[in-house]
């Protein structure tokens, strides 16, 4: 009984901690590579904070020397977004520009329904296009300014109800966002209702197995004496090789070329990214 009480209290403590609001305290602009001067970082930070607070969508820039072991910049961007606690509000709305100096790659990433509505696939392409041209010309500060300026414009257009999207595409409406939330909620109910009884049943069956202790032995490994294994012929002959290739972009978050925003299963949407 003592164990059950302890387990129950642990779960209550976990739930209490879960309810505590998460403060987004991530710095807006961080340069781990030294591409910008201190003064430039200070200026960019002030401007990013200003826009973030105005639209309640965090704008972030991360310049890093490498992807810390991640396979792609897509995975890395999602990883640091969560790790560094980026995003504002309950939904952690935010838009991140990641610049990786080991392969000179860049990518923009959005999270949260307001960010997805503001930064459509088309919108992200526009931001990235502007950023890339500045990066290629070596105007790094200019690239960051372009990111903030374009982002502010996208956020403003979304506030006006006309988010930047492919010409002729229908902007994401509030109803569509609600429908998406409903779909997510249904999925959550499905996962919870399906997984919980299954996990409980497995644990209960495991506990029930303790009631059965007798059984025939099928192995005799305990009775092989020291040096009881004597191999006379050991050969590993190489025969042939096969190779399979998977397009990384397709398995990440790239969406269709139509209007709207393509959101992956992790809740992120990405631009195309690229190299400079």
Partner 1 sequence: MPEQVTNYKCIRCGGPLHFDAKEQKLKCEYCDSTFTNEEIETLYKTANEAAIEQSYESDHADRLQWSAEEAKHMRAYSCPSCSAELLCDENTAATSCPYCGNPTVVPAQFHGALKPDYVIPFKLDKKDAIKALYNFYKGKVFLPNAFTDGAHIEEIKGIYVPFWLYDGTADSDMAYHGTRTNSYTSGRYHVTETKHYKVIRQGEVRFKHVPADASSKMPDEFMDALEPFNYVDMVPFQMSYMPGYLADKYDVTAAENSKRADVRMKNTTLDTIAATAHGYLTLVPEVERVHLSHDRIHYAFFPIWMLTTRWNGESYMFAMNGQTGKMIGDDLPVDRGKFLLYFLGLTLLFGIVLWFLLLR
* Long-range contacts, stretch 188-197, CB < 8 angstroms, 24+ apart: none
Residue 264 in the binding site for partner 1 (CB under 8 A): no
Q: Which of 5, 34, 167, 221 binds partner 1 (CB under 8 A)?
A: 221
Which residue do the tokens 């400079």 mark?
A: 276
Q: Which of 138, 220, 256, 265 binds partner 1 (CB under 8 A)?
A: 220
Residue 215 in the binding site for partner 1 (CB under 8 A): yes
Partnered with residue 106 across adjacent β-strands are 99, 274
Binding to partner 1 (CB under 8 A) within 45-104 occurs at 71-72
Partnered with residue 62 across adjacent β-strands are 30, 98
Binding to partner 1 (CB under 8 A) within 118-177 occurs at none
Partnered with residue 61 across adjacent β-strands are 29, 97
Which residue do the tokens 């790094």 mark?
A: 140
CA–CA dist 201, 268 (Å, integer): 34
CA–CA dist 216, 224 (Å, integer): 19
Count of residues of this chain found to bind partner 1 when the rule CB under 8 A is applied? 61
> Which stretch in 35-43, 124-132, 161-169, 204-212 sits in contact with partner 1 by CB under 8 A?
204-212
- x/- mask, partner 1, residues 1-40, rule CB under 8 A, reads ------xx--x--xx--x----------------------
CA–CA dist 55, 4 (Å, integer): 47
Partnered with residue 96 across adjacent β-strands are 60, 109
Q: Which of 9, 13, 179, 248 binds partner 1 (CB under 8 A)?
A: 248
Task: Name the site residues for partner 1 (rule: CB under 8 A).
Answer: 7-8, 11, 14-15, 18, 71-72, 188, 191-193, 195-197, 199-201, 203-204, 207-208, 210-225, 228-249, 251
């Amino acid at each position: 009984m003592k164990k059950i009480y302890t387990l129950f209290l642990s779960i209550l403590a976990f739930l209490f901690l879960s309810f505590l609001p998460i403060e987004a305290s991530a710095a807006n602009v961080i340069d781990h590579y030294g591409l910008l001067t201190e003064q430039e970082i200070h200026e960019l930070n002030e401007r990013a904070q200003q826009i973030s607070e105005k639209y309640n969508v965090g704008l972030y820039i991360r310049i890093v020397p490498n992807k810390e072991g991640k396979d792609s910049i897509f995975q890395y961007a999602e990883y640091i977004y969560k790790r560094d606690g980026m995003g504002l509000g309950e939904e952690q709305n935010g838009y991140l520009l990641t610049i990786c100096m080991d392969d000179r790659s860049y990518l923009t990433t959005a999270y949260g329904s307001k960010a997805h509505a503001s930064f459509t696939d088309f919108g992200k392409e526009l931001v990235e296009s502007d950023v890339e041209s500045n990066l290629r010309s070596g105007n790094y500060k200019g690239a960051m300014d372009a990111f903030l300026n374009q982002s502010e414009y996208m956020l403003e257009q979304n506030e006006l109800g006309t988010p930047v999207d492919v010409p002729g595409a229908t902007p994401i409406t509030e109803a569509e966002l609600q429908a998406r939330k409903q779909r997510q909620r249904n999925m959550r109910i499905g996962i919870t209702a399906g997984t919980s009884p299954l996990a409980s049943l497995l644990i209960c069956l495991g506990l029930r197995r303790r009631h059965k202790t007798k059984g025939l032995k099928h192995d005799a490994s305990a009775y092989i004496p020291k040096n009881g294994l004597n191999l006379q012929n050991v050969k590993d002959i190489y025969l042939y090789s096969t190779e399979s290739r998977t397009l990384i972009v397709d398995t990440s978050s790239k969406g269709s070329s139509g209007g709207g925003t393509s959101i992956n299963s992790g809740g992120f949407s990405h631009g195309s990214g690229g190299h400079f």
